[in-house]
Amino acid sequence: MILGSVTIFRCRLGQYNSAMKIEFRENGSIGIETGGKLVLRQGEQEVVIEKPRVSLCRCGHSTNKPFCDGAHKTAGFVAPAAVIELKADA
């Protein structure tokens, strides 16, 4: 999945994992349920995050991009909610 210049790879121990939930919050961030581990690659930089959930900026105003810092609340960001669920291959 590509979000601007950030590529998100869901993995566990170097392998793609079974499922992922991506929630586009109304007037807010993108919430990703990682299941424990998420690898973000931005250009040549790679960051491994070991958290069950992360929030990514989608308003463009965060000072901690690609992560949300709540700036959408004061920026007046407006966008509808949506959910994407990626299921495991059988």
CATH number at residue 38: 3.40.5.90
In angstroms, rounded to a whole number, what is the distance separating the alpha carbons of residues 67 and 49? 11
Instruction: Give 89 or 3, the one with higher predicted confidence.
Output: 89
Give pLDDT, residue 26: 96
- Boundaries of domain holding 52: 2-86
What is the pTM for the complete model shown?
Answer: 0.73
Counting the structural domains of the chain, the total is 1
> Which residues are within 8 A (CB) of 13 and not within 5 positions of it... i.e. 6 or more apart?
none
Note the pLDDT tens digit of each residue in 37-86.
Answer: 888 887 888 888 888 889 999 999 999 988 999 999 999 999 999 999 88
